[in-house]
Amino acid sequence: MDILVSVVLPLGLAFIMFSLGIGLTLADFRRVVSHGWAFVIGLGCQMLLVPLVAFAVVLAFDLQGEIAVGVMLLSFCPGGVTSNLISKLAKGDVALSVSLTAVVSLVSIATVPLLVAWAVVFFMGSEAPRISVTTLSIAMFLITTLPVGVGVLIRHVSPATANRIEPRAMVLSSALFVIIVVAAIAANWDLFVVNLASLGPALIVLNAALMLLGLNIAGVAKRPWQERKTISVETGVQNSTVAITLAPLITGVVTEIPAMGLPAAVYGVTMYAVALPFVLWMRSK
Protein backbone atom coordinates (compact mmCIF):
# COMPACT_ATOMS: atom_id res chain seq x y z
CA MET A 1 0.00 0.00 0.00
CA ASP A 2 2.95 2.35 0.68
CA ILE A 3 4.04 2.07 -2.95
CA LEU A 4 0.47 2.64 -4.16
CA VAL A 5 0.06 5.84 -2.15
CA SER A 6 3.55 7.32 -2.54
CA VAL A 7 4.35 6.23 -6.11
CA VAL A 8 1.44 4.81 -8.11
CA LEU A 9 -1.12 7.49 -7.16
CA PRO A 10 1.05 10.54 -7.98
CA LEU A 11 2.47 9.00 -11.15
CA GLY A 12 -0.98 7.83 -12.22
CA LEU A 13 -2.44 11.30 -11.77
CA ALA A 14 0.56 12.85 -13.53
CA PHE A 15 -0.03 10.61 -16.54
CA ILE A 16 -3.75 11.41 -16.57
CA MET A 17 -2.92 15.12 -16.57
CA PHE A 18 -0.33 14.51 -19.29
CA SER A 19 -3.06 12.88 -21.41
CA LEU A 20 -5.09 16.06 -20.90
CA GLY A 21 -2.18 18.29 -21.87
CA ILE A 22 -1.31 16.41 -25.03
CA GLY A 23 -4.80 17.19 -26.32
CA LEU A 24 -4.36 20.93 -25.69
CA THR A 25 -2.83 23.64 -27.82
CA LEU A 26 -1.74 27.14 -26.92
CA ALA A 27 -4.81 28.33 -28.80
CA ASP A 28 -6.99 26.65 -26.15
CA PHE A 29 -5.61 29.08 -23.56
CA ARG A 30 -6.02 32.08 -25.87
CA ARG A 31 -9.54 31.07 -26.82
CA VAL A 32 -10.91 32.28 -23.48
CA VAL A 33 -11.17 35.78 -24.98
CA SER A 34 -13.25 34.67 -27.94
CA HIS A 35 -15.67 32.80 -25.70
CA GLY A 36 -16.31 35.95 -23.69
CA TRP A 37 -19.24 35.68 -21.29
CA ALA A 38 -19.57 31.91 -21.72
CA PHE A 39 -16.08 31.48 -20.30
CA VAL A 40 -16.72 33.95 -17.46
CA ILE A 41 -19.93 32.14 -16.51
CA GLY A 42 -18.26 28.73 -16.65
CA LEU A 43 -15.30 29.93 -14.60
CA GLY A 44 -17.57 31.54 -12.01
CA CYS A 45 -19.64 28.36 -11.70
CA GLN A 46 -16.56 26.19 -11.22
CA MET A 47 -14.68 28.44 -8.83
CA LEU A 48 -17.58 29.80 -6.73
CA LEU A 49 -20.81 27.87 -7.25
CA VAL A 50 -19.38 24.35 -6.93
CA PRO A 51 -17.77 24.83 -3.46
CA LEU A 52 -20.85 26.70 -2.18
CA VAL A 53 -23.25 23.96 -3.25
CA ALA A 54 -20.87 21.29 -1.88
CA PHE A 55 -20.82 23.10 1.47
CA ALA A 56 -24.63 23.18 1.52
CA VAL A 57 -24.82 19.46 0.69
CA VAL A 58 -22.31 18.58 3.43
CA LEU A 59 -24.42 20.45 5.98
CA ALA A 60 -27.72 19.08 4.65
CA PHE A 61 -26.55 15.45 4.85
CA ASP A 62 -24.72 16.06 8.15
CA LEU A 63 -21.40 14.73 6.88
CA GLN A 64 -18.61 14.95 9.42
CA GLY A 65 -14.82 15.09 9.76
CA GLU A 66 -12.65 13.70 6.99
CA ILE A 67 -15.68 12.67 4.92
CA ALA A 68 -16.93 16.27 4.91
CA VAL A 69 -13.47 17.56 3.99
CA GLY A 70 -13.29 14.94 1.24
CA VAL A 71 -16.49 16.25 -0.35
CA MET A 72 -15.19 19.81 -0.17
CA LEU A 73 -11.83 18.73 -1.59
CA LEU A 74 -13.66 17.17 -4.53
CA SER A 75 -15.50 20.44 -5.12
CA PHE A 76 -12.23 22.40 -5.24
CA CYS A 77 -10.83 20.25 -8.07
CA PRO A 78 -11.12 21.11 -11.80
CA GLY A 79 -13.03 19.05 -14.36
CA GLY A 80 -10.19 17.31 -16.15
CA VAL A 81 -10.33 14.95 -19.11
CA THR A 82 -13.66 13.46 -18.03
CA SER A 83 -15.59 16.72 -18.36
CA ASN A 84 -14.15 17.26 -21.84
CA LEU A 85 -15.25 13.78 -22.90
CA ILE A 86 -18.75 14.15 -21.43
CA SER A 87 -19.12 17.58 -23.04
CA LYS A 88 -18.25 15.99 -26.38
CA LEU A 89 -20.79 13.20 -25.82
CA ALA A 90 -23.41 15.82 -25.00
CA LYS A 91 -22.64 17.61 -28.30
CA GLY A 92 -21.60 20.68 -26.36
CA ASP A 93 -19.00 23.31 -27.15
CA VAL A 94 -15.87 21.17 -26.77
CA ALA A 95 -13.52 24.11 -27.39
CA LEU A 96 -15.13 25.97 -24.48
CA SER A 97 -14.87 22.85 -22.31
CA VAL A 98 -11.18 22.42 -23.08
CA SER A 99 -10.45 26.10 -22.47
CA LEU A 100 -12.21 26.03 -19.09
CA THR A 101 -10.38 22.84 -18.06
CA ALA A 102 -7.02 24.28 -19.10
CA VAL A 103 -7.42 27.56 -17.23
CA VAL A 104 -9.09 26.14 -14.10
CA SER A 105 -6.37 23.48 -13.85
CA LEU A 106 -3.76 26.25 -13.72
CA VAL A 107 -5.70 28.42 -11.26
CA SER A 108 -6.27 25.43 -8.95
CA ILE A 109 -2.58 25.42 -7.99
CA ALA A 110 -3.31 28.50 -5.90
CA THR A 111 -6.96 27.97 -4.94
CA VAL A 112 -7.00 24.30 -3.87
CA PRO A 113 -4.30 24.51 -1.13
CA LEU A 114 -5.88 27.64 0.38
CA LEU A 115 -9.42 26.22 0.35
CA VAL A 116 -8.25 22.86 1.72
CA ALA A 117 -6.47 24.62 4.58
CA TRP A 118 -9.77 26.27 5.49
CA ALA A 119 -11.87 23.10 5.10
CA VAL A 120 -9.75 20.86 7.35
CA VAL A 121 -9.88 23.40 10.17
CA PHE A 122 -13.61 24.06 9.76
CA PHE A 123 -14.71 20.41 9.66
CA MET A 124 -12.03 18.67 11.71
CA GLY A 125 -11.23 21.26 14.38
CA SER A 126 -8.55 20.09 16.80
CA GLU A 127 -8.08 16.88 14.76
CA ALA A 128 -7.16 18.84 11.63
CA PRO A 129 -3.77 17.90 10.15
CA ARG A 130 -1.20 20.65 9.78
CA ILE A 131 -1.41 21.96 6.23
CA SER A 132 1.52 23.56 4.42
CA VAL A 133 -0.09 25.60 1.65
CA THR A 134 3.29 26.03 -0.06
CA THR A 135 4.10 22.31 0.00
CA LEU A 136 0.65 21.40 -1.31
CA SER A 137 0.95 24.00 -4.09
CA ILE A 138 4.34 22.61 -5.14
CA ALA A 139 2.94 19.07 -5.12
CA MET A 140 -0.01 20.15 -7.26
CA PHE A 141 2.34 21.84 -9.70
CA LEU A 142 4.49 18.72 -10.02
CA ILE A 143 1.67 16.21 -10.47
CA THR A 144 -0.91 18.31 -12.35
CA THR A 145 0.41 21.47 -13.99
CA LEU A 146 3.84 20.23 -15.07
CA PRO A 147 2.49 17.10 -16.84
CA VAL A 148 -0.13 19.24 -18.61
CA GLY A 149 2.64 21.61 -19.69
CA VAL A 150 4.75 18.74 -21.03
CA GLY A 151 1.78 17.49 -23.03
CA VAL A 152 1.08 20.95 -24.47
CA LEU A 153 4.77 21.34 -25.35
CA ILE A 154 4.86 18.01 -27.21
CA ARG A 155 1.79 18.98 -29.25
CA HIS A 156 3.27 22.41 -29.98
CA VAL A 157 6.66 21.03 -31.07
CA SER A 158 5.45 17.92 -32.88
CA PRO A 159 1.69 17.67 -33.58
CA ALA A 160 2.21 14.40 -35.44
CA THR A 161 3.83 12.81 -32.37
CA ALA A 162 1.02 14.11 -30.16
CA ASN A 163 -1.61 12.66 -32.49
CA ARG A 164 0.07 9.26 -32.29
CA ILE A 165 0.38 9.34 -28.50
CA GLU A 166 -3.02 10.83 -27.59
CA PRO A 167 -5.34 7.84 -28.31
CA ARG A 168 -3.16 5.41 -26.35
CA ALA A 169 -2.68 7.92 -23.56
CA MET A 170 -6.44 8.35 -23.22
CA VAL A 171 -6.98 4.58 -22.98
CA LEU A 172 -4.25 4.19 -20.36
CA SER A 173 -5.46 7.20 -18.36
CA SER A 174 -8.99 5.72 -18.29
CA ALA A 175 -7.58 2.45 -16.95
CA LEU A 176 -5.56 4.33 -14.31
CA PHE A 177 -8.70 6.23 -13.27
CA VAL A 178 -10.54 2.95 -12.65
CA ILE A 179 -7.59 1.50 -10.70
CA ILE A 180 -7.31 4.59 -8.49
CA VAL A 181 -11.04 4.68 -7.73
CA VAL A 182 -11.19 0.95 -6.92
CA ALA A 183 -8.07 1.19 -4.73
CA ALA A 184 -9.50 4.11 -2.75
CA ILE A 185 -12.78 2.29 -2.09
CA ALA A 186 -11.02 -0.98 -1.21
CA ALA A 187 -8.68 0.78 1.22
CA ASN A 188 -11.67 2.26 3.07
CA TRP A 189 -14.17 -0.57 2.57
CA ASP A 190 -15.56 -0.61 6.13
CA LEU A 191 -15.94 3.17 6.13
CA PHE A 192 -17.47 2.94 2.65
CA VAL A 193 -20.14 0.50 3.85
CA VAL A 194 -20.95 2.59 6.93
CA ASN A 195 -21.20 5.89 5.05
CA LEU A 196 -22.69 4.74 1.75
CA ALA A 197 -26.28 5.39 2.81
CA SER A 198 -25.55 9.07 3.37
CA LEU A 199 -22.51 9.66 1.18
CA GLY A 200 -23.92 8.10 -1.99
CA PRO A 201 -27.13 10.19 -2.04
CA ALA A 202 -25.18 13.31 -1.04
CA LEU A 203 -22.83 12.97 -4.01
CA ILE A 204 -25.69 12.19 -6.40
CA VAL A 205 -27.56 15.29 -5.21
CA LEU A 206 -24.38 17.38 -5.50
CA ASN A 207 -23.71 16.18 -9.05
CA ALA A 208 -27.31 16.59 -10.26
CA ALA A 209 -27.81 19.97 -8.57
CA LEU A 210 -24.64 21.39 -10.07
CA MET A 211 -25.43 20.21 -13.58
CA LEU A 212 -28.93 21.69 -13.38
CA LEU A 213 -27.66 24.95 -11.89
CA GLY A 214 -24.95 25.31 -14.53
CA LEU A 215 -27.48 24.68 -17.30
CA ASN A 216 -29.99 27.18 -15.93
CA ILE A 217 -27.48 29.91 -15.07
CA ALA A 218 -26.18 29.74 -18.64
CA GLY A 219 -29.79 29.81 -19.80
CA VAL A 220 -30.58 32.93 -17.80
CA ALA A 221 -27.50 34.51 -19.39
CA LYS A 222 -29.06 33.60 -22.78
CA ARG A 223 -26.11 31.56 -23.97
CA PRO A 224 -26.56 29.26 -27.00
CA TRP A 225 -27.73 25.71 -26.25
CA GLN A 226 -24.34 24.23 -27.12
CA GLU A 227 -22.59 26.50 -24.60
CA ARG A 228 -25.27 25.82 -21.97
CA LYS A 229 -24.61 22.09 -22.20
CA THR A 230 -20.87 22.58 -21.78
CA ILE A 231 -21.25 24.93 -18.81
CA SER A 232 -23.59 22.36 -17.21
CA VAL A 233 -21.02 19.58 -17.61
CA GLU A 234 -18.07 21.70 -16.50
CA THR A 235 -20.02 22.78 -13.41
CA GLY A 236 -21.21 19.30 -12.48
CA VAL A 237 -18.22 17.07 -13.24
CA GLN A 238 -15.08 17.21 -11.07
CA ASN A 239 -11.72 15.44 -11.33
CA SER A 240 -12.02 12.80 -8.62
CA THR A 241 -8.51 11.47 -9.33
CA VAL A 242 -6.96 14.74 -8.18
CA ALA A 243 -8.93 14.62 -4.91
CA ILE A 244 -7.98 10.98 -4.23
CA THR A 245 -4.30 11.69 -4.89
CA LEU A 246 -4.22 14.84 -2.77
CA ALA A 247 -5.89 13.20 0.25
CA PRO A 248 -2.71 11.38 1.45
CA LEU A 249 -0.66 14.56 0.93
CA ILE A 250 -3.13 16.55 3.04
CA THR A 251 -3.40 14.06 5.89
CA GLY A 252 0.25 13.02 5.85
CA VAL A 253 -0.79 9.35 5.67
CA VAL A 254 1.57 7.42 3.39
CA THR A 255 0.59 3.86 4.33
CA GLU A 256 -2.94 3.93 2.89
CA ILE A 257 -5.48 6.05 1.06
CA PRO A 258 -7.16 7.98 3.90
CA ALA A 259 -10.88 8.43 4.48
CA MET A 260 -10.60 11.91 2.99
CA GLY A 261 -10.22 10.29 -0.42
CA LEU A 262 -13.33 8.12 -0.08
CA PRO A 263 -15.92 10.70 -1.27
CA ALA A 264 -13.96 11.25 -4.48
CA ALA A 265 -13.74 7.49 -5.05
CA VAL A 266 -17.49 7.03 -4.57
CA TYR A 267 -18.09 10.06 -6.79
CA GLY A 268 -15.98 8.38 -9.48
CA VAL A 269 -18.78 5.80 -9.69
CA THR A 270 -21.93 7.86 -8.99
CA MET A 271 -20.84 10.59 -11.43
CA TYR A 272 -21.59 8.36 -14.39
CA ALA A 273 -24.98 7.35 -12.97
CA VAL A 274 -25.94 11.04 -12.98
CA ALA A 275 -24.01 12.49 -15.91
CA LEU A 276 -24.74 9.87 -18.59
CA PRO A 277 -28.57 10.06 -18.37
CA PHE A 278 -28.20 13.84 -18.29
CA VAL A 279 -26.06 13.70 -21.43
CA LEU A 280 -28.62 11.57 -23.23
CA TRP A 281 -31.32 14.09 -22.34
CA MET A 282 -29.21 17.03 -23.53
CA ARG A 283 -28.35 15.27 -26.79
CA SER A 284 -32.05 14.79 -27.50
CA LYS A 285 -32.88 18.49 -27.14
For position 50, what pLDDT does the model report?
95
pTM for the model: 0.87
State pLDDT tens for residues 83-119. Answer: 877 887 888 887 788 888 888 888 888 899 999 999 9
Q: 5-14, 37-46, 264-273: lowest mean pLDDT where?
A: 5-14
Segment holding 241, helix H or strand E: helix 240-251
CB 225 within 8 A of CB 283: no
Percent of the residues in the chain that have a pLDDT greater than 70, as a whole number: 94
Which residues, other chains included, contact 145 with Cβ-Cβ below 8 Å and sequence gap of 6+? 17, 105, 106, 109
Asked whether the predicted pLDDT for residue 133 surpasses 60, the reply is yes
**Confidence class for position 32, pLDDT limits 50, 70, 90:** low
Q: What is the 3-state secondary structure (H, E, C) of 145-182?
A: HHHHHHHHHHHHHCHHHHHHHHHHHHHHHHHHHHHHHH
Which residues, other chains included, contact 188 with Cβ-Cβ below 8 Å and sequence gap of 6+? 257, 258, 259, 261, 262, 265
Please tell me the distance from the alpha carbon of residue 186 to that of residue 210, in angstroms, as a whole number.
28
Question: What 3-state DSSP class applies to 120?
Answer: helix
Which residues, other chains included, contact 14 with Cβ-Cβ below 8 Å and sequence gap of 6+? 142, 143, 144, 146, 147
Residues making up the chain, counted from first to last: 285
Percent of the residues in the chain that have a pLDDT greater than 90, as a whole number: 28
Residue 168's CB is within 10 A of a number of other CB atoms, namely 10
Please tell me the distance from the alpha carbon of residue 167 to that of residue 172, in angstroms, as a whole number.
9
Amino acid identity of residue 126, one-letter, is S
State pLDDT tens for residues 173-188. Answer: 778 777 777 777 777 7
Segment holding 254, helix H or strand E: none
